[in-house]
Amino acid sequence: MELIFLGTGAGVPAKERNVSATALKWTERKGRTWLFDCGEATQHQILHSPVKLGKVDHIWITHLHGDHLFGLPGVLGSRSFQEAETPLTLFGPEGLRRFVDTVLTVSQTHLRYECEVREVTSGVVYEDDDVRVICAELDHGIPCFGYRIEEKDRPGSLRTDLLQALGVPPGPLYRRLKAGEDVRLPDGRMIRAREVLGPPKRGRIVTILGDTRPTEAAVRLASQADVLVHEATYRAREAALAVKHGHATTVDAARTAERAGVRTLILNHISPRYGVEDEPELLAEARAIFPETYVARDGWCYSVISRD
């Protein structure tokens, strides 16, 4: 699992940071990719990244402000022009369906793939055999959501040494036991999967928040996460501006990470008023409270490693 930061700025594009877009690439699932927010020029950022539009099968929009949304029409159209035919599902607040329908109709853009729009409310919004996604509304002035991506626990490693001692031949029986299925041997013995598997491997948790003031919803979404991606639009001494405009400071993000017990904090959505020369100050403010903190930059990739 890898996070690829395509746009890490706030509000308007800057020379050093484009507006919001983050990709989550499932390296264990044939490279399928989820995109979180889609600010202006996201497709241009993708050209300089490991992301392939044809592999993007879910797009999650946190809210409908332009710096998180205005790149979506281009991504939808280019995915079609590149002859992708696999389905694409969009998630986001109420109004997303109207936006997509309007822009496709007015521009007469035809998509060669099925595109479904799901407007979300707080709770479980997606689940398959491997992953569950929970969202909750944050505090930003307009409906804005954060997403908690929970990878489900996986079976432990197969104890092949134990199976060999029991006289179980390698092959299909090993695969069934690895999948958690009990098997009966030709001689009548029953082999219980739980007795020949190691401890389950804990699934990873990634929390990606939209714009927000400090809120309990963010703490709940981030609880025990391996990675929390949290906006840090302002430095600490500009807390009044953060409150006024519905945003967080570096210190707000660090306190949320500390309270939630996360493993790693990544600061994102940095105001264009700050240049590269300001990053050490932003990082120091957060690390004074939560040492395992990084500042995202456009093009940066971060591997999410399992705790096991």
Give the tokens for residue 308: 């096991």
What would the pLDDT profile of 143-188 be if each residue is shown by its tens digit? Answer: 999 999 999 987 778 888 888 888 888 888 888 888 788 888 888 8
Structural domains in the chain? 2-154+201-303 (3.60.15.10), 160-196 (no CATH)
Query: 10 Å Cβ neighbour count for 272?
Result: 16
Q: What is the mean pLDDT of the segment spanning 262-289? A: 96
239 alpha-carbon distance from chain centroid: 27
Confidence check: pLDDT of 272 > 80: yes
DSSP string, 152-209: PPB---B-HHHHHHTTPPSSHHHHHHHTT--EE-TTS-EE-HHHHB-SPBPPPEEEE-
Measured at the CA of 148, the angle between CA 223 and CA 100, to 5 degrees, comes to 155
Q: For this structure, is 161 an active site residue?
A: no
pTM above 0.85, yes or no: yes
Q: Provide the pLDDT confidence category of residue 40 given band limits of 50, 70 and 90.
A: very high
Residue 244's φ and ψ, nearest 5 degrees, are -60, -40
Residue 287 makes CB contacts below 8 A (sequence gap 6+) with 254, 293
What would the pLDDT profile of 91-140 be if each residue is shown by its tens digit? Answer: 999 999 999 999 999 999 999 999 999 999 999 999 998 899 999 999 99
Q: Provide the pLDDT confidence category of residue 305 given band limits of 50, 70 and 90.
A: confident
pLDDT at 157: 82
Please name which of 213, 207, 222, 72 lies closest in space to residue 142, comparing C-alpha atoms: 213
Q: Which residues are annotated as a binding site for Zn(2+)?
A: 63, 65, 67-68, 140, 211, 269
Residue 260 makes CB contacts below 8 A (sequence gap 6+) with 207, 218, 219, 220, 222, 223, 224, 225, 228
- Bridge partner list, 229: 208, 266
Q: Do residues 4 and 48 make contact, with C-beta atoms less than 8 angstroms apart?
A: no
**How much is the CA Rg of the chain, to the nearest whole Å?**
22
Q: Which residues are annotated as a binding site?
A: 63, 65, 67-68, 140, 211, 269
What would the pLDDT profile of 46-101 be if each residue is shown by its tens digit? Answer: 999 999 999 999 999 999 999 999 999 999 999 999 988 899 999 999 999 999 99
pLDDT at 308: 63
End-to-end CA distance of the chain: 14
CA separation for the pair 259, 38 (Å, rounded): 29
Q: Do residues 140 and 63 make contact, with C-beta atoms less than 8 angstroms apart?
A: yes
**Helix residue spans in the chain (DSSP H):** 42-47, 72-81, 96-107, 160-165, 172-178, 193-196, 216-222, 239-245, 250-260, 279-287
The amino acid that residue 97 corresponds to is R
Residue 155's φ and ψ, nearest 5 degrees, are -60, 150
Name the active-site residue from 67, 226, 252, 298. 67
CA separation for the pair 231, 233 (Å, rounded): 6
Angle between helices 96-107 and 72-81 (to 10 degrees): 60
**What are the angstrom distances between the C-alpha of 78 and each of 45, 101, 226?**
13, 16, 33
